[in-house]
Amino acid sequence: MLDRALCLLGAVGLSQAPEFFQQYLQRLGGHLDEARIALARYEAVARESGLTLTRLIETTRAQPAGPVARLGDAIAEAQARVLDLESAEAALRAASLWERPFVFLRHVDAEIAARAWTVFKPAVPVTTEGLVYAGAGMVLALISYQLLVVLPGRALLRRWRRPEDEVDRAAGGRARIDP
């Protein structure tokens, strides 16, 4: 009975992964849009100054005044952020059903994932992907149950029965009847 309950929990739990990935992707896309807007402002300043963005970063970093030099770092960080978010979004969108969890773990932005989790709304998995994840959840739950409960239980049972078996053999193999 416990194995069936765990299979059901595994299926329901893992079937929510596609919905979480979808909600994470929506948040990731929002962060990417905002990062692109910020970077576009810096690119506009560079263009108006007759510079490339890279040259603007170099020029501001070379300034002796600390705040101006740190502005160059901020521009470079904004540029790197856009590239990171674009890479993560492209990888997640291109990932197959089987690759998606691993791609997610490789490219996850912990802050975005945490915020997605706080507003996560479970959904009924009616897609093929949701059903596959539900099946995988059942299999993983059953394997976990076997590894954590059944196999150790059998090993303990064998150890518990061994002394009794030795007594039977010493008595000449006769069956004992306990009153």
> What pLDDT sits at residue 4?
75
User: Could you write out the three-class secondary structure of the chain?
Assistant: CHHHHHHHHHHHHHCCHHHHHHHHHHHHHHHHHHHHHHHHHHHHHHHHCCCCHHHHHHHHHCCCCHHHHHHHHHHHHHHHHHHHHHHHHHHHHHCCCCCHHHHHHHHCCHHHHHHHHHCCCCCCCCCHHHHHHHHHHHHHHHHHHHHHHHHHHHHHHHHHHHHHHHHHHHCCCCCCCCC
What string of pLDDT tens digits covers the 179 residues of the chain? 777 777 777 777 777 888 899 999 999 999 999 999 999 999 999 999 999 999 999 999 998 888 888 999 999 999 999 999 999 999 999 999 889 999 999 999 999 999 999 998 887 776 787 778 777 877 887 788 778 776 776 766 666 666 555 555 555 555 555 55
pTM of the model: 0.67
> What pLDDT sits at residue 164?
55
> What pLDDT sits at residue 162?
60
